[in-house]
Structure 1
Amino acid sequence: MTLQNSFNRVIAATLLSVSAISLTAQADINPSEVNAWLRAFDANPKAQMNAPIKKVRNHPNKPLKPLFTAEQISSGKFIEAKNKRRPQAGRIAYKQDDQVEDLVDNSRNSIVRKLEDMSAYQSAQLESQPWSDSYWPLNAGTLAWRYADSAHTPTETNYDKTLKYVLEDKFAADALKNASSLDDLSVAEKYDIL
C-alpha cells in the first residue's frame, strides 16, 4: 500500500468515524457496511467518493406522525402550541427604564402622547426641501411614453389625456408594416413586439 493510499484511508476513516458518531443517536450503524465502504474506498477512492449516498430513514416501519391533530389545525389552536415552543432567542427583554425619548434627540418635551395633539402634525414646512424624483417621466408614462411620437407632447399636464393616449392601440397591423410607425412606439411596446 502506498503512502498516498494510506493517507486517503486515514482521511476516509476519520470522516466516516465523525459522521458515524453523529449518526449513532439517530440510526443503527452496521459495522460491516462501514468496512465494505472502506474496502471500496481503498480500491478506488475517486469512484467511491463520487458514488451516490444511500439514504435511509431512522425507523422505516414507523409512520410519520403529524405534529398537530386535525382538530387543533381546524380550530387554530396549533398556533398557540407553536408559539409556546418558539425560542425567545433574539428578542430583547423589555426594561422598565426603556423610554422612547431616549431614541430621539431633543425630544423630552416634544413626544406626542395624546391623539388630540397630533392635529398639529397634519402639515409641515421643512427648512430645506429633500430631493424627490422628477414628476414628468411618470406623468409622460415612463416606459410607455412614446418619446418619438410627435403627436404627443410629454409636457401635457392633463394626466387623463396622457393616460388615454398611452393606452391607445398602436398595434394595428398596418402600423406594424410601416417603419415610421414603429419608430413612434414606446420602449415597452417595442419590447412586446419581440
Structure 2
Amino acid sequence: MNESMVTWASAVAEAELSGPLPRRWAHSLGVSQRAAEVAELMEGDAELLTSAAVLHDVGYAPRLALTGFHPLDGARFLRDTHAADERLVRLVANHSLALLETEEWGLREVLEAEFPLLDDQRLVDALVYCDMTTTPDGEVTSADARLAEITSRYGFDSLVGRFIRRASPDILAAVGRVKAALAAQPK
C-alpha cells in the first residue's frame, strides 16, 4: 500500500458522495481522519485502513445502490469498476459488523461468498472504531452516542435498529480493543 491508494480512494469517494450525499461525504472524511489517529497500530497497513475508511460508505451513492445494502454495493463497485485491492474491498464489504446486518437483509450467504471477512482482527476492529466514533457530520463521538444516534435515526424496530441492537456488544468490544491498544502505545 502506498499514499497513492489513499489519494485514489479519496477521489473515488468524493466523486461518488460529495454531490449527492454531502453529509455522508462529511462522515467519510471524519472516519478517514480517525483512521489517521490509529495509524501507529496498523503495522504497515495504515494506508489500507485510511483508504477503507474514506470508502466504507461509497455504496450509499445513489447510482451504486443496486441491492440497497451499502457495504455490498460499495464492495462490488470497487471490485468490478476499479479492480481495487482485495483486502480493501473486503474491508468495505464487511465494515462495522456488516455480516450481522446481512442476516436482516437476507444477504449473508452472498456477502460471505463474494467478500469473506478478513482474518486480520486488528484491521477489522480499527475500521469499526473509526466508523463508530464518528458522527454523521464527521465529528468525533463516543461509540455509545453513535449507537444511540443510529438507533434514533433509523428507528428502534427498523431493520437497522434491530441490527444495531444485536451488533452493539461486538461493536463496543471492537472499540474497546482499539482504545486499549492506543492506551498501551508509548507516549
| Alignment TM-score, normalising by the size of structure 2 | 0.18
More helix by share: 2
Is the radius of gyration larger for structure 1 or structure 2? 1
| Alignment TM-score, normalising by the size of structure 1 | 0.18
